[in-house]
Amino acid sequence: MRFIREHKLFSLLITVVLVLCITMIVSFKTGGVHNFLGNILQGGATNVQKPLAGAGDSVKSNLRGIFKFKQVVAENEELKAEVSAMQKKVIELSLKKNELQQLQELSNALNYEGVNANRNLVSASITSLDGSNWFNIFTIDRGTESGIKKDCIVVNGDGLVGKVMDCGNGWSKVVSIIDESNSVSFMVLRDMSLIGIVSGDSTGSLSGFMLDNKASVIEGDTLVTSNMGLYPEGIKIGKILSVKYNSDTQLKTVKIQPSVSFKSLQKVAVII
């Protein structure tokens, strides 16, 4: 006992070693069945493993979420690309349809009586507008190389468009009949003895007056060029929307709807 008192630390170590040895022997003899100490050790190990296992599951779940998100983003980008391609195709088909319609209308321009046998038509595409929502003044992609020159008349399948005001190699500038600076003489198709002058206004329409203030023009009358001045005879200008008598000027004035749609022009023909 004196030895134990003098060597307390050493004695404690010896005691712990003996207890562990006895525990191992008992565990072996009982076929590995957990005793009280084993249950304590196993419980501690389980408590340590649980948060580690939970953390692993959480990491796996987050990784699956990240990969799924990337897959969704990739699929979304593919869908956007497909939609964009389809929209582009629709636009291309629409443009081709409109261009075909314009070309078919231009072919009708060959039937104008005012175009003599010794004159030709040069088809052209509009390339730009000169700072206006309306086609008051615009540029086409044909010019002097095609025989176009200043004051050549411009038409489309619906009727009179205007005249060439300037041109060069590969381009021409056209002033339309709806421009305020352009005036055209006309006659009423129903009665060609009824003659007047028409010019553009600021609203994209046409207005004019009859040379005879007693002329019997009515709403719905069709107007064509009269062969007075630059414009050949018989090119359609438009229809009369309204007729009024101006007591101040003593003129019978008319409001006209142009036969040409000046907001959707794409193709024109130049008479040379």
pLDDT digits (tens, 9 = 90+) for 115-173: 444 568 899 999 988 766 667 899 999 999 999 999 999 999 889 999 999 999 999 99
pLDDT in tens, 51-106: 544 545 554 565 566 656 667 767 777 776 766 566 555 545 544 555 555 545 55
Looking at residue 239, which CATH number applies to its domain? 2.40.10.340
For residue 83, tell me if it sits in a domain.
Answer: no
Which is higher by pLDDT, 205 or 116? 205
For residue 15, tell me if it sits in a domain.
Answer: no
Identify the pLDDT of residue 213: 87
pLDDT interval class at 272 (50, 70, 90)? confident
* pLDDT at 211 > cutoff 80: yes
* pLDDT at 22 > cutoff 60: yes
For residue 260, tell me if it sits in a domain.
Answer: yes
For residue 203, tell me if it sits in a domain.
Answer: yes
Q: Which two tokens stand for residue 266?
A: 């794409």
Q: Domain range holding 262?
A: 112-272
For residue 145, tell me if it sits in a domain.
Answer: yes
CA 69 from chain centre, in angstroms, equals: 31
For residue 218, tell me if it sits in a domain.
Answer: yes
Beta bridge partner(s), residue 271: 121, 153
Identify the pLDDT of residue 170: 95
For residue 1, tell me if it sits in a domain.
Answer: no
* Domain total in the chain: 1
Strands 137-140 and 251-258, bridge-based pairing: unpaired
Greatest CA separation for the chain:
152
* pLDDT at 261 > cutoff 50: yes
Report pTM. Answer: 0.59
* pLDDT at 196 > cutoff 80: yes
Q: Which two tokens stand for residue 68?
A: 């799924």
For residue 171, tell me if it sits in a domain.
Answer: yes
> In Å, how far are 185, 204, 245 from 268, measured between CA atoms?
21, 18, 35
Look at the block and give the residue holding tokens 């198709």: 189
